[in-house]
Amino acid sequence: MGPSGSIPVSLFFTCLADAFSPGVCHATVEVLERFGATVRVPLSQTCCGQPAFNSGNRKEARAMARKFLRSFPDDGPIVTPSGSCAAMVKHGYPVLFRDEPRMLARARAVGERIYELSQFLVDVLGVTDPGSDFSGKVTYHDSCHLRRGLGVVEAPRKLLRAVPGVEFVEMEESDRCCGFGGVFSLKYPQISCRMTERKVERILATGASYVTSGDLGCLLNIGGLISRIGYPVKAIHLAEILAGGAGGGPPGAAADAKKGGG
Q: Closest approach of Cβ 99 to other proteins, in Å?
A: 12
Q: Closest approach of Cβ 68 to other proteins, in Å?
A: 9
Question: Is the Cβ of residue 206 or residue 221 nearer to other proteins in the bound state?
Answer: 221
Spatial distance between the Cα atoms of 125 and 39, rounded to a whole number of angstroms? 14
Question: Is the Cβ of residue 10 or residue 21 nearer to other proteins in the bound state?
Answer: 21
Residues facing residue 167 across a β-bridge: 137
Spatial distance between the Cα atoms of 112 and 70, rounded to a whole number of angstroms? 16
Question: Is the Cβ of residue 133 or residue 172 nearer to other proteins in the bound state?
Answer: 172
Q: Closest approach of Cβ 167 to other proteins, in Å?
A: 27
Spatial distance between the Cα atoms of 97 and 258, rounded to a whole number of angstroms? 41
Question: Is the Cβ of residue 27 or residue 138 nearer to other proteins in the bound state?
Answer: 27
Q: Closest approach of Cβ 109 to other proteins, in Å?
A: 22
Residues facing residue 80 across a β-bridge: 116
Q: Closest approach of Cβ 128 to other proteins, in Å?
A: 29
Long-range contacts of 151-157 (CB under 8 A, 24+ apart): 152/83, 152/116, 152/118, 152/119, 152/214, 154/122, 155/118, 155/119, 155/121, 155/122, 155/123, 156/118, 156/212, 156/214, 156/238
Spatial distance between the Cα atoms of 6 and 260, rounded to a whole number of angstroms? 28
The 3-state DSSP class for residue 120 equals helix
Residues 55, 36: contact at Cβ < 8 Å? no
Question: Is the Cβ of residue 45 or residue 118 nearer to other proteins in the bound state?
Answer: 45
